Amino acid sequence: MNQKDILGLYDMEAAVIDEILTRGLAYKSELKRGNKVFHALSGKSMVTLFYENSTRTRCSFELAGKFLGAQVVNISVAASSVQKGETLVDTGKTLDAMQNDVMVIRHPASGAARLLAKTVRAHVINAGDGMNEHPSQALLDMLTMREHFGKISGLKVAILGDIYHSRVAKSNLYGLTKLGAQVTMFGPRTLIPAGIEKLGAKICSSREEAVDGADVVMGLRIQLERQKAGNFPSLGEFAKYYGANEEVIKYAKPGALIMHPGPVNRGVELTSALIDGDTSKIEDQVLSGVAVRMSMLALLGKED
């Protein structure tokens, strides 16, 4: 890898994605054996700067940094000088002046991570920017698929739900198609972004069509905080017409994986039977998240 920052998968080369996944699989195997002491970031420092809520992403970046030997500081935006009106650029310059090596940022505005990356000397990792990209989530999803199937190329991945607001769906679309997977999508017409077919997605007219022959069925969280009123009538109607359930999943390949980035709205995007079923990878995705973030951090650290 030869890049300062990781801002998205749209402009990441397939070879780099492959390198991150290969190293991530090795870290996952070590984590499963209980090994948590590595030295790739020994002597380095890392800051997490989250302007939006998070459980999985913030915690797994923190653990990943600590397992690699970095000094990690978590900034709570609610308790920082952001509340006194400090801009993102000024906050970035302040953290840079403290000689931080890596900044991990989540922000509600698309493009915020790119702005920070242009401003600071430190490596910047985008942990989710508005409706744009969430590269570490897509990489952990691909790592989970590659570990299970041994490959990404040739897989059919069905993504259901709120595609419009989902940075997870967009990063997965970019990454999966670069590695040779087919991506089908279905959701309310009001929640399908215009022109997404041009980026490689097949937009389907029913859940059954999207899921037909799929190796993986991925639900997406309904992002109530980003919804404009009227995109769909109610959560009950969403579950009934757009969610995945035991009947819909019969159209997928036998043993198809059930995935979801979390947090899940149980009974809305996926039924509890699917979430807790034998082929659900939702908890395994969380471990993949620590491993793939270790890989991203280690590969960026190599650039110094």
Residue with Cβ nearer ligand CP (236 or 263) = 263
Tell which positions 3-32 bind ligand CP, by CB under 6 A: none
The C-alpha atoms of residue 211 and residue 262 are separated, in whole angstroms, by 20
Phi, psi of 41 (to 5 degrees): -115, 20
Is residue 132 part of the contact set for ligand CP (CB under 6 A)? no
DSSP per-residue codes, 68-124 = TT-EEEEEEGGGSGGGGT--HHHHHHHHHHTT-SEEEEEESSTTHHHHHHHH-SSEE
Q: Is residue 226 part of the contact set for ligand CP (CB under 6 A)? A: no
Chain centre distance of CA 235:
23
Q: Between residues 134 and 146, which has the closer beta carbon with respect to ligand CP?
A: 134
Largest CA distance in the chain: 56
Verify binding: residue 137, ligand CP, rule CB under 6 A. Answer: yes
Q: Which of 242, 66, 67, 81 is nearest to 161 (CA)?
A: 242
Q: How far is the CB of 56 from ligand CP (least distance, A)?
A: 4
Q: Is 262 in the site for ligand CP (CB under 6 A)?
A: yes
Contact between 76 and ligand CP per CB under 6 A: no
Distance CA(216)–CA(160), nearest Å, equals 11
Q: Is 144 a binder of ligand CP (CB under 6 A)? A: no
Q: Binding pattern to ligand CP, positions 263-302, x when CB under 6 A?
A: x---------------------------------------
CA distance 194 to 197: 8
Work out the angle at residue 97's Cα, subtended by the Cα atoms of residues 92 and 99, and round it to the nearest 5 degrees: 105
Binding segment for ligand CP (CB under 6 A), chosen from 5-13, 26-34, 51-59, 87-95, is: 51-59
Residues whose CB falls within 8 Å of the CB of residue 231, separated by 6 or more in sequence, listed in order: 162, 164, 188, 190, 191
Q: Is residue 57 a contact residue for ligand CP (CB under 6 A)?
A: yes
Span near ligand CP by CB under 6 A; candidates 80-88, 170-178, 224-232, 259-267: 259-267
Q: Residue 39 — left, alpha, or beta (φ > 0 → left; ψ -120 to 50 → alpha)? A: alpha
Q: Which is nearer to ligand CP, 48 or 182 (CB)?
A: 48
* The binder of ligand CP chosen from 10, 25, 56, 232 (CB under 6 A): 56
Nearer to ligand CP, 54 or 71 (CB): 54
- The span of 41-49, 55-63, 114-122, 191-199 binding ligand CP (CB under 6 A) equals 55-63
Q: Return the range that interacts with ligand CP (CB under 6 A); candidates 35-43, 54-62, 86-94, 230-238.
A: 54-62
Residue 49: name the closest of 2, 10, 94, 84 by CA.
Answer: 94
**Residue pair 69/39 in contact by the 8 Å Cβ criterion:** yes
Instruction: Look up residue 270 and give its DSSP letter.
Output: B
Stretch that binds ligand CP, among 2-10, 52-60, 141-149, 205-213 (CB under 6 A): 52-60
* Binding residue for ligand CP, selected from 3, 18, 38, 54, defined by CB under 6 A: 54
Among positions 92, 187, 219, 261, the unique one binding ligand CP when judged by CB under 6 A = 261
> By rule CB under 6 A, what count of residues binds ligand CP?
9
Element holding 23 (H helix, E strand): helix 14-32
Closest approach of ligand CP to the CB of residue 62, in Å: 11
Residue 148 binding ligand CP, by CB under 6 A: no
Those residues whose C-beta lies under 8 Å from the C-beta of residue 104, and which sit 6 or more positions away, are 46, 47, 48, 49, 61, 124, 125, 127
**Site of interaction with ligand CP (CB under 6 A):** 54-57, 128, 137, 261-263
